[in-house]
Every structure is written in C-alpha cells, then in structure tokens.
Structure 1
Amino acid sequence: MESESVTTPFGRRPMSLALLLKHRRGEAIAAGTTRNKWKLFRSVCEARAGLGVTDRALTVLDALLSFYPEDELSNEKGLVVFPSNTQLSLRARGMAAATLRRHLAVLVEAGLISRKDSPNGKRYVRRGRAGGIDEAYGFSLAPLLARASEIEAMAAGLAADRQMLRTMKERLTICRRDIVKLLAAAVEEAVLGDWERMSSLFHALLQRIPKTATLENLPPLLEELETIRLSMINSLELHEKMQIASTNESQSERHIQNSNPESLSESEPGLGTQQEARRDDQPKTGRENHDQGRRGDGGQGTRAVSRPDAGRLKSFPLGTVLQACPDIADYGPGGAIGSWRDLMTAAVTVRTMLRVSPPAYEEACSVMGPENAATVMACILQRGGCITSAGGYLRDLTRRAGRGEFALGPMLMALLRAKNPPIAEVS
C-alpha cells in the first residue's frame, strides 16, 4: 500500500513508531490474496490465545466483519468498513460505547484491524458518480487479510497441541487406572514384591499432577507413571511364570510316580493308538502342518489366539511418510516438516482445506492415533483428484481401521511405486 494511505489517529490518541510499523506490516498484502471472512474469523477464534485477544474483542471483530458486504475479503474490493457507533453497538450484542472503544483498541493493538480516521474523526464514505467508493474512512480489515496465512498456521498449531494434550491426558488416565487395579490384584493374590513402595511413589506422583496440564509439565509425569506400571507388570508376569513352572514340576513328578512300565496301554496298543499310528503314516496336509505348528502343547490341543486391538495401526518412520507424500511439506510450519508435531500441524491445515469436518478427523485420531491419522491425511492430499470426498473417504478408512481391515503399509507403498514406477525390460 502507498505510504500516503497511512493516517495518524484523530483527536488525543497519539501516534507511535510501533503503531506505524504495525500499520505498514499489516497492510502489506500480496497481490491476489483473498479469504472467506467467516472461515478466517473461525481461525482467529482458534488462535485467540496466541493473538492475545479476548472473547469480547472477538465479538466486536465479528460485528465489524458483518458490515463488509462480500463474503470474500479482497484488497481489490476495498477493506474499510465505516459503521456508526450505534449500529456497531447493536451488532456487538448491545455492547456499551465505552466497552466498545476499549475492545476496538485491543483489536488494533493485536494487529487485526487498523484505524483510517477522516479529517474530522467521523466514519463515512465518499462515492463517485458511478456509485463506486472513492474514499472511505473507518476501520480497515487489511491487517486481518495480510496476516491470514500466519493466523491459519497458528490456529493449526494450537489445534495440534490441543489434540496432543488430549491424547496425553487419556494416556495418563488409563495409566492411573491400570496402576490402581494392578496394585489391588497384587495385594489380593499375595504376590511377593515391594508394593508398598510402589504405592507410595504412585501417590506422590499423583500429588504432582498440576491442575492445568500443559505439553511442558505433563510428559515427565506420564513417563514416570508408565515406568511404574511397566515395573508392576513385569513383577506380576514373573510371579505368574514361577507359578506355572512350579505347577508343571509337580505334575511331572506325579506322572513319574504313577507310571507303570508293565501297563497294558504300553504293551498292547489299543484302538486309539492304532488310529493315531495310521494317521501318522499318512502324508500331512498343509492345514495339519499349520495347525501342528500353532500348537504349543505337543499336539494335544490348539491354543486360542487373541485378536490384537483392531484400531491400532502399524506406524511408519516419518521419512518414509514424507518420501511417499512430499506435497504435505508445503503446509508445514515454514514450508517444511521436521517432526511428527509438524506433520500433525500440517494435517490440520490440509483437513480444513479439503473440507474434512473436525468430528471426522477427531474420530480418526481416536481410532488410529494422531500420528497415523496425520499420515492418512497426507496420503489423501497426495492422491489429489482421485478422491471425490475427502471427509467420506476418511470416515470409511476410520471404520475399516476400527474393524482391523485397514493398514497404512499398502497405501504408502502404492504412493511410493507411483513416484518411482518400475522400468520395463526391453526385449
């Protein structure tokens, strides 16, 4: 914007170098930049903590945006709104004039709007003969549009932090529950171990959990609790193995004492033994060999195989994900991805761009895990126009993952093969 468009405040409000720099930086809009005003306002609401604005200030910003006639903010169409104090107060839910001025000052200080005061301090517009706006005085939304990319990235980062913090809180709750029930089981079964010390250490850690959990103070406590849980599980498993070994030894001893070498069952094979001998002489099928390999008790029975957690997916290294899905790097902080947190931040931005609803993405994070859900979003972005509805496709993958019918490996390998197709042999 030209330097002559910078106007000093009217009345007793002083001009400062900081205000001038904010004004100049806020109105440096790249050519062709447009944003939907309500989607941008939602990003401002999500990034409220990072921008340093209050909920009442957001109410005033909402009212100012309602005076902008178009849905798309564009520098070519003008970005100055000029409501009167009365109309602005009505659209700000009846906010008092003094409160309105205070929160307008907060928005200016945060660099979301700027003032363009007229010679007499009034807000008005001067139109040409064709009806177009020649000059307008009021509040400029240019800083909001100029910082659109910054605000969206900030909102995506804060959303990723909230998701990570929510996951940590869930892990902490599960860990606390496990420790309490494992302690109760150890005491009830009279398992040998230093359970009193573990209980004291556990309760001491509970006292250290802060009322306001953050990504800085929660991970160390979670790591210590998981260490206690692992130690308890190892102690209980060792006790169980010792009991099984003791039981097997006693059964073997009784078997030796009750054996009779002159028994009829050993000197004269019965019907069951003859049938088993005939089965042994016949060639074994693949199914029998497979079943025999799965039996851990010498062929006397088949051990039940427990199905793993259906929603848990095998994770892949971040480098493999970025090699298969390089397009996601453009949406990372600073145009690059260097950690899983950066990938999850970029995935939130891509989710908004592909119009995937927040509930659909949160369900995917809950079922697959935040890292795997971000990987799936990177794969969806990489496939581009092959997917008609990204939200519906993500919900379908989430349902399949919940049933154990979806794996990340084939999707990533397909993208890698698409990038590096095999060279056909020339005959």
Structure 2
Amino acid sequence: MLPADQFAAAFNGTDATPSAILGAFKAAAPHMGISARVVHAIDWLFRFTQPQDWRDGARPIVWPSAALQSADLGVTPTHAKRLNRQLTELGLIVMKDSPNGKRYGRRLPANTGRIIEAYGFDLSPMAVRMPEFIAIADQGRKERTAMAQLRRRASIARNSLRQTLETYQEQAIHDPEIPALKAAFDQTAKTLRQIEVSERLAPVVSELESLAATAREALEIALTYGASQQADAQATVNMSPKGHQNVPHHYNYNPTLNPLQDTVMALGRSSALPATAPSPMDRGGEGRPEKARAARTDRGAHGTVTPDEIVRLAPRLRPYLTTPAPRWTDLVEAADWLRHDLGVSKPLWGDACLTIGRERAAIALAIVSAKPTEHFKSGPAGYFHGMIAKAKAGELNLDRTIWALRRKAPHSAAPQCH
C-alpha cells in the first residue's frame, strides 16, 4: 500500500473535474495492461464522488457498502475484497479505514455538500496520477498509429511479392534464387505476426520491403533482357546485395576465354589488352572454356590495370573488400556494394555487366567513385549510365580514363599487366 499512500499524500486539490480524471485513466488503461474489470470498478467508484470533493482542502473519499459493491459489480464479497486489494496494489486508491472497520461518511447541508467525515475509498491517487495517464494515453495513440502504418507497409510488401511471383509464373521465367528469396520472405512475415511493438516491428518490415524490392528488381531485369537471356545469365546480378542470410551472394557472368574477343577495334588501333596469354579475369570461374559472346563495346583498361591499382585509384572500394590482396572477383563484389552509395540501381548495374562484362563494369564504377561530387551534372548514377551508353555506341575508352586517374593520383605506381 505504500506507493498508493505516497500518491495520496501528494494530493493538494485539483481543478480537474472527476469526469476528466476518469477519462484520462480510461484512455491510458489499455496501454498500462489494466484489465477491463479494474476499469469498471474504478468507474463505479467515481459515481459516488462530487466535484467539490476534489478541491483544495477536501478529500475525494467515497463509502459505498460492501453489499452494494458486490451487487452492482456482480461479484461475491470475497471477489470484491480481492478486487479492492488489486486497486490498491495498482496505486489507484487508498483504503481509509474507520475504527470499527466500517465504511461511512457525512456531508454538510446540500448547499455546499463538502465532506466532513468519511471512511472508505480514497480516490486522490487518481488525481495525482492524471498527468501520467495523459502521457501514457498520448504515447499509446502514437504507438497505435505507428503500428498501423507498419502493418500497412507490410501488407504492401506482401502484395508486391505476390504480384512479382505471379508475373514470374505468367511469363514462364525461371530464376533458381526466387524460391530461397520467397522462403526468407515467409520466415520474416511469420516473425512479424509475433511482434506487437513498433520499435521491434520497424526493422522486420524494412526487411520485408527489401526482399520484395529485390524480387521486383530481379523481375525487371528478367523482363528487360528476356527469359532466354535470364536463363543464360543465371541471375545476372546478386539477388541480395545486402547479404541476406537465406539468399546466396554470387555472380555468374561468363567472360570469354580470349581477351581479344572482348575488345572492339576502334579507329584502326587495337585496345591495350595483351596479345599473349589470357588474363586471369578473362577466364571462367574454374578455367573452363565458355561459349562465345557478342563483342563488347568498350576499349582498353582490362589488361593494363590490376585490382590493387584500381583500389589505389578508387579508394572508396576499400571498405567493401574482404581481403588485402583482392582478385577481380573480389573487386566485382565490392563494386556491387559500392553502387548503393553511388545510387546505381540494380537494373543499371545488370545492364552494365551484360554490356561490357562484370570486371569492366567494376572498373567503370570505380572510375565514377573516384571523381569529385562537383564533376557530375546528373549525379554519379547518371554519369555511370552515360558511360554504359558510350560503351554501347563503341565510344567508351576506359584505358584513357585510367591513365588520367594515374596522372592525378599522388605517388601512383607504374601500371602492371597480367
């Protein structure tokens, strides 16, 4: 009873009406975990109080009999005693007992109605806690609004994924990573249904949205390049660049075995690729010959630069590397992470990889990252898009751009060839 006694001792009267105090409590009760039975009991006690009982110098005490309480609340006398104890433990009332243990009280004549003696239920803790009730109710309304918004976002994400999967089926597009993505989505959606707090729900909903967006972007690439190319490329770009635990992170572009076949002859001059043994980054994942691809439309830079030099010229790649001695595959993976910082979308990245190969796409992205912000008119992504457009027109010269970066870079090392 001590907490309730402390609340009662702090009561010095209030200008709030009994109905306002009761309304604040009812609004806060659901967010305080207070049962409807307790709310009903407090509501019933407030029927016996009057406005003057809450003024300075007065005390809001009510004294309904135990028999009346049991009858009106529809409980046994034992249950009524248990309920009164619960109200006290919750800090909502204080029991003021008479010498003989009975509840009674007296008021002045009707013109004032002030209590001159009373023993029973002291409701003053309710007035003292009114600001607390208001704050809890306000926070509860904000939480309810946040939860509604988050669940609406989750529904949109679920609908988006369902529509994406239906389109995959309608267009007869096969993507081996979609089942794993759907399984990850279903598991996240299951977790969502078990959460009732917005702070914990927000990251789960964000994960749902990310998975739905990943599936949609993969579908856009599949529709752009056709079902046959999608099957050949086998998921051209990584299905989950953020590294979702249930979706593998890999690339399956197939560069040709002969580096000269990957170079366009421009202006009667060959590219800077070596004419001897093929470069390690121009081999398949296990050194197996790959089927011929259409000639790429960029010029140079493939055989005249190493991954180490690319990292020195474009240091923004370094945080995304997992090894101090990167290979071309490591560089491509780091570029896929870096593209998020530059605002390069997954479809644009996939277009670049199909147009000039994933290694050259990584070099082009590294070049973009090495340029100052003021260099761009339409942002890094727009500049990268322009580079790929030049590649399609046979006008991209990565070799010349690499040499320009070398001249500007301090303490730049001499170029190395594979």
TM superposition score normalised by structure 1:
0.47
Q: Rg larger in 1 or in 2?
A: 2
Q: Answer 1 or 2: which has greater helix percent.
A: 1
TM superposition score normalised by structure 2:
0.48
